[in-house]
Structure 1
């Protein structure tokens, strides 16, 4: 007999009679994954009280061949799903769940009969499991947030970023000088919490943010929000991102810069009517109750003209930086072409100048694949 989506499978764990014992049940349906089962089974003996001590550890730069498991462990379950491998293993008095990601990070959780045993198992798993990354000045660590089937998820990976000294010539004189001031800021210099970069597409807003991530790497972690419309419509997701990871070691505490790209709907003048609470929650994150005590900055890129932005976004005191990144003027574009192309043939910059994307396309001799359909007779006939 085939099952329907409404039918559910229930796994029930019964605890041995004990003073602090609990029973547990997990309901499964077709929306659950094998990893959900591993997550539940990993906590079964912790819930029952048989293994009442749990300790977790996060690892970065994990070696591909690192076992992350004691030699005498017995593997009960494995799962490969959505770029993550989950493993459930057991040993004498302990249970180990390992979530291993393709980006070289892993989360280990051990439940054991004593806390000392749990920590010993973790130590064995972590021994010689990681490697120091090769030093590359052009690489900077960036986090990527999205809300998935298992709630808010953050993945960290290195990205390539040019230094500001390498790209400052890609911007007009005025905006380059303003960006230079921004790049030179340090934690003690922070006043406002909002960075606003606005201007036409292809003018280098994203390139500037990558350079900023590199220049601020010592004191600020940059995270890109892949689904900002979901972030500000889901309070739980927003809290997870805003709170981040606390540390009591002040020497290791860093600011965080949340990057929201192309958020025109969120900050334009009609945002309150079109996005509901999205604008209010953004403002609350930057200088409201939610942002108090959190070392969080928010960078927004938009193609909107300044005159169309919501006045609450650009009011004095809220913005750390408000930068209009525009086209290079005819003179600036010509100077860029002379510098980059040397003796090669050069286009003539029109009266409106050129965008950085147009200049780079010509410099790198990129040719796009395109086809323009031939107009048919019906396309040229008008209607009365």
Structure 2
């Protein structure tokens, strides 16, 4: 067979809607909600409505329908923990997917302005803003969603004041935390905050209270999958850019990475590949330039086992070893000597002893449950 002549006219490429035929295959594994998700893509796939806008809401008012005025519902489905509604109007289609208190709303339309306008009308006033409590602090949680990729959700976290929880820490730790709680933006020298020590000593509790102490000038986000963060460049860039809760110029962000032993121990360069380098780049390298980002890392490792690049002078804003209370401090905290060893006790151990006594008259410190101290 001879090759076609270079001068032979070639057939024009098929338009996108014909190059990608729309077929829907349904079997026993599919639910009505899956069918609604697939049907929603029809007009976008064919090009009838080639523009799309979407948003996610963490907390939705129970009475909010998330449908614009005049919407005609064409499909609706609900199962145990989620629901979906497909509705349409003149030149647009909307898909509302709800779960628990959250929702995703996506609109396709004949032009981008219409898609944006319909989405705004559907979600206007739908977000549920809980009444702020003095003891609560807003905290963001980052994670990679299989459906949406890097995603951030916000929760109100209960946190005591530093004065209330200060007795939970041994004297040297309390003195170090005194200085840290009082830090303001103009005091920042070093972008890395390192809390290390045995499990159950209160590292997480200290960070929650730090979020409350800094809430006027610093947004705090917890990364739920730190091992993925530094292996996925796109995820890292999303977090480096961030999402601001407020609009104040110059507001700082604190990223919390818990139990990152493998990331920062001495042999991390060999076992974690580029992860350690990217962490350091975020704190004082090119990635962190021009961004008011602090990183707090907790680890159970001894200081001597940490990578020297992590603990070098000038890199850390604070480096605090959170250890158990001494015997005298533990006895004073518990109100009795029974059960306290000669080497003292961790905060988690003291909570366990307190729960086991049920003795009347013991003062309860202002704290959350002991599980948050591990």
TM-score where L is the length of structure 1: 0.76
Residue 162 of structure 1 corresponds to which residue in structure 2? 160
Verify the 8 A CA contact 1:142 1:156 in the aligned structure 2. Answer: yes
Aligned match of 1:374: none
Q: Secondary structure at the match of 2:131?
A: coil
Distance in 1 between residues matched to 2:82 and 2:250, nearest whole Å: 28
Paired position in structure 2 for 1:333: 330
Say whether 1:263 aligns with 2:260.
Answer: yes
Rate the CA distance shift 1:234–1:114 in 2: closer, same or farther, 3 A.
closer
Spell out, residue by residue over 1:73-127, the C-alpha distance to the aligned partner (whole angstroms, 9 max, x if none): 233455779966454322111122334342x344433333355543442343234
Instruction: Tell me the CA shift for residue 238 of structure 1.
Output: 2.0
- Report SS of the residue matched to 1:222: strand
2:10 corresponding residue in structure 1: none
Cα distance in structure 1, aligned partners of 2:48 and 2:294 = 44
Q: Is the 8 A contact 1:333 1:353 kept in 2?
A: yes
Query: Aligned in 2, Cα 1:76/1:153: closer, same or farther, shift over 3 Å?
Result: farther
Mapping for residues 173-252 of structure 1, pairs under 5 Å: 173-245=171-243, 250-251=247-248
- Determine whether 1:354 maps to 2:345: yes
Partner Cα distance (1:290, 1:229) in 2? 18
Residue 282 of structure 1 is aligned with which of 271, 279, 283? 279
State the Cα distance separating 1:276 from its structure 2 match: 1.4
CA RMSD after TM alignment: 3.4
1:203-245 Cα deviation digits (max 9, x unpaired)? 1101111111222223322222222222222222222222223
Q: 2:354 aligns with which of 342, 345, 363?
A: 363
> Equivalent residue for 2:109?
112
1:268 Cα shift? 0.7
**CA 1:191–1:162 in 2, change beyond 3 Å: closer, same or farther?**
same
| Structure 1 CA distance for aligned equivalents of residues 121 and 295 of structure 2 | 40
* Structure 2 match to 1:122: 119
After superposition, the Cα gap between the structure-2 partners of 1:363 and 1:246, relative to the gap in structure 1 and judged at 3 Å, is closer
TM-score norm. by structure 2 comes to 0.78
**8 A contact 1:203–1:327 mirrored in 2:** yes
Of structures 1 and 2, the one scoring higher in RCO (CA 8 A, sep 6+) is: 2
Rounded Cα–Cα distance in structure 2 between residues aligned with 1:207 and 1:299: 13
Shift in CA distance, 87/284, structure 1 to aligned 2, threshold 3 Å: farther
- CA distance 1:37–1:299, change in 2 (3 Å): farther
The corresponding residue for 1:6 is none
> How far off is 1:139 after superposition?
2.3
Distance 1:280 1:120, change over 3 A: closer
Match of 1:95 among 83, 93, 96: 93
The answer to whether the Cα contact below 8 Å between 1:193 and 1:320 also exists between their aligned partners in 2 is: yes
Quote the residue 1:382 is aligned against. none
The size of the alignment, in residue pairs, is 340
Q: Distance in 2 between matches of 1:99 and 1:271?
A: 42
Q: SS where residue 304 of structure 2 aligns?
A: helix
Deviations 1:275-321 (A, max 9, x none): 11211111112111222223222111111111110000011121111
Following superposition, the deviation at residue 148 of structure 1 comes to: 3.5
Deviation at 1:187? 3.1
Contact 1:242 1:291 survives alignment (8 Å): yes
**Contact 1:334–1:348 (CA<8 Å) still a contact in 2?**
no
Asked if residue 321 in structure 1 is aligned to residue 318 in structure 2, the reply is: yes
Show the counterpart of 2:5: none
Which range moved further: 166-175 or 289-298? 289-298
